[in-house]
Structure 1
Amino acid sequence: MFTTIIMPSLLGFAIFMCGMKLMELALFRLGGTSLLNLLQRSTRTPLHGLLLGTASTAFLQSSTAVTALSISLVNSRMLPFSRTLGIILGTNIGSCLTTELIGLNIFHLAKPILIFSLALWGISSLLIESRLFPSFSSWSGNVMLRSIAIVLFGFGLLLLGISTMQSIGPSLKQTEMYSWFLAQSQTTLLWGVLTGAILTACFHSSSAVIAMIMGIAAIDSLPLELCIAIVLGSNIGTCATAILASIGGTRGGQLVALSHLLLNVFGALLFYPFIDLLATAVLWTTDSLPSAIAHSQTLFNIICCFIALPICYAKWITRLDQV
Structure 2
Amino acid sequence: MWARHQWVGETHTEAEYRALADIVRRNRITDVYFHAGPFEPDGTVPPAKYANARDLIEAMRRLAPGVRSQAYLGQIRVMDDYGLLDIDRPEVRRNILDTDRAMLDLGFDGIHYDIEPIYPDDEAFVRLLDDTRALTRERGRVLSVALEQLTLVDAVEPVYRALIPRNGAVHYPPRPTEAFLRRVADRVDQVAIMTYDVSLPTRSLVGRHFAWHTERTLRLIGDRVTVFMGVPTYRPLMDWAEDLDGALRGVRRGVDALDRPPAKPYGVGVYAEWTTSTADWARYQADWLNE
Q: TM-score, normalised by structure 1?
A: 0.30
When you count helix as a share of all residues, which structure comes out higher? 1
Select the structure with the greater relative contact order (CA < 8 A; seq sep ≥ 6): 1
Question: More strand per residue: 1 or 2?
Answer: 2
TM-score by length of 2: 0.32
- Larger Rg, first or second structure (1 or 2): 1
